[in-house]
């Protein structure tokens, strides 16, 4: 899955941007996780029946934090890092050395949202949704 490769470079980027202890978990976090943390979901699909070789993954990142301004800052850093359209040379360079089975074509933000704090945990959730185009090699 392309999301696992993106998560490696996204985590490194966020750590370099001042969030050294941030964790990125698939689907949901552990009860022992401390804020801020990110969960992700990946929904891969084929772009078109006539272009069966071209894939598009819709990846949703959910930032959970009990500090709203910090959560917004993390969301903006993710947007700035991944919302590059077809100018993916920087992302491709950062993925050098990973065991890649695809060639990325584009990465763009397609939506997002914010949800009130969950009553039990007290975390605000900010979602950012990205679409990533790629072909397998």
Structure confidence at residue 37 as a pLDDT band (50, 70, 90):
very high
Indicate the average pLDDT of the chain: 91
Beta bridge partners of 112: 128
Report percent pLDDT > 70 for the chain.
99
Q: What is the largest CA-CA distance in the chain?
A: 47
User: Domains in the chain, start-ordered, CATH in brackets?
Assistant: 2-136 (3.30.2000.30)
What is the reported pLDDT for 119? Answer: 67
What is the reported pLDDT for 34? Answer: 87
What pLDDT digit, counting tens, does each position of 62-91 carry?
Answer: 999 999 999 999 999 999 999 999 999 999
Give the pLDDT mean for 8-16: 95
| Separation CA 26–CA 39 (nearest Å) | 5
| Separation CA 122–CA 25 (nearest Å) | 19
What is the reported pLDDT for 137? Answer: 84
């Amino acid at each position: 899955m392309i999301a696992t490769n993106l998560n490696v470079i996204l985590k490194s980027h966020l750590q370099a941007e001042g969030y050294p202890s941030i964790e990125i978990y698939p689907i949901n976090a552990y009860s022992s996780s401390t804020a801020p943390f990110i969960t992700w979901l990946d929904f891969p699909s084929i772009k078109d029946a006539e272009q069966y070789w071209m894939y598009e993954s819709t990846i949703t990142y959910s930032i959970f934090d009990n500090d709203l301004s910090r959560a917004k800052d993390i969301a903006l850093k993710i947007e700035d890092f991944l919302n590059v359209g077809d100018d993916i040379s920087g992302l491709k360079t950062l993925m050098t050395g990973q065991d890649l089975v695809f060639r990325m074509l584009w990465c763009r933000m397609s939506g997002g949202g914010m949800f009130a704090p969950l009553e039990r945990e007290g975390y605000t959730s900010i979602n950012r949704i990205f679409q990533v185009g790629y072909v397998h090699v």
